[in-house]
Amino acid sequence: MKKILLVLFVFFTAQIFAQTMTGTVFDDAQKKPVAYAIVIYANHQKIMYTDSAGFFSLPKDSLYNDDTIFIQNIGYQTISIPVMKMKDAENYFLISAENLLKPVFITACKKTKSFDINKRIGRITQYIGPGPEYKLIILAKYENNAGKPGYIHALSIYLDEPDKTHALPLRIHWYEWGVVHQQPGKELTDTNLIVYPYKKGWNSFDIPDYTIFFPAQEIVMGIEFIYSPEYYKEYAALKTSAEKVKWFADMKNRWVLGMQNVRDKSEGGFYMVNNVSTIKAYGQRFERFYIRPALKFSINVCVEK
């Protein structure tokens, strides 16, 4: 039997909802659906994601008259809608943010070389994530052993038991490292980068050129697992607490992220829950190790100008 590193069983008291409030989120300029936009409700306590067509559905029993719904996505301005003014089957349009970060390009470079970062992973253990209504971002610092700045052109993520039934996507985030407080600092993510792990073990993804800049010292990467409205609907259909416990115990309904052990506290993992800006660090494991997501990078650096 595999050793479970961390289990976050989340038990909800929700009932089956006979009535819902639906909506669809679009890009204001292109008039195209915005997939996996974040919908925050229940006084910031609950999270819902739009599906691939920009559609979402919220249970009316969880909407309070004095509440406000927030819709947000990377690269867009957040919009807010008072519950009292919401209409069913409404369309919502996100406007592009005006202050998007501009990528830092390596100029006048005639030759680049690829370096592998964090290629010696070591022991990997399981990390079982929570269920619907919880937005969880797991993040950690990764040192640049190349010693030169560059751009990530490939990213590998380890999953122990991917959710093949629901095909849950992952959103990639990146941040500065706060030297003073020794924790992740300002988020630098300026692109809505989503990947789909599909197998047990290492899942590798090509990253578009000049998207994620890897500084000469280190980078902080974050992984956000997304639960679709279809997934939430399946959970909401469960009638009893016993059914919900059984459903959560079935690993086909959960995602399992590979976590590596590190000895340096500054390389240990951090997490953020439900869109709250407070970043918390995972504690020490086995009296000598810290944990962080098992990620590997390949970066292109300039070696001749």
Instruction: Report the alpha-carbon distance of residue 202 to residue 204 in Å, rounded.
Output: 6
pLDDT > 90: percent of the chain: 47
Q: Does the pLDDT value for residue 273 go beyond 50?
A: yes
* Residue 43 to residue 274: CA distance in whole angstroms: 11
Average pLDDT, the chain: 83
Question: In the numeric block, which tokens belong to residue 123?
Answer: 């022991």
Give the strand order in the sheet containing 46-49: 46-49, 38-41, 68-72, 79-82
pLDDT at 17 over 90: no
More confident residue, 218 or 122: 218
Instruction: Give pLDDT, residue 108.
Output: 62
Q: Which residues pair with 272 in a beta bridge?
A: 137
For residue 111, list its beta bridge partners: 304
User: So what's the pLDDT on residue 285?
Assistant: 74
* 92-96, 213-217, 255-259: least confident range: 255-259
The two three-digit tokens of residue 26, written as one number: 């679009």
Token pair listed for 281: 């660090």
Q: Is the pLDDT of residue 199 over 60?
A: yes
CA 47 to chain CA mean position, Å: 13
Q: Which of 2-6, 20-24, 153-157, 263-267 has the lowest mean pLDDT?
A: 2-6
Q: Is 220's pLDDT higher than 70?
A: yes
> Can you give the pTM of this predicted structure?
0.82
How far, in Å, CA of 20 to CA of 256, rounded? 30
Weakest mean pLDDT among 26-30, 123-127, 211-215, 230-234: 230-234
Each residue's pLDDT tens digit, 71-92: 999 989 999 999 999 999 999 9
* Residues 255/166, Cβ–Cβ less than 8 Å: no
Residue of 46, 49, 48 lying closest to 36 (CA atoms): 49
pLDDT grade for 18, boundaries at 50, 70 and 90: very low
Does residue 246 surpass a pLDDT of 50?
yes
Residue found under tokens 């067509």: 53
Which two three-digit tokens encode residue 106?
A: 């390596």
Higher pLDDT, 208 or 8: 208
Other Cβ atoms less than 10 A from the Cβ of 259: the count is 25
Secondary structure class of 11 (helix, strand, coil) = coil
Give 67 or 303, the one with higher predicted confidence: 67
Tokens 């000049």 -> residue: 210
Residue 11 has pLDDT above 50, yes or no: no
Opening angle at CA 225, ends 224 and 227, nearest 5: 135
Query: Is pLDDT above 60 for 103?
Result: no
pLDDT at 4: 39
| C-alpha–C-alpha distance, residues 91 and 81, integer Å | 12
| Mean pLDDT to the nearest integer, 34-38 | 93
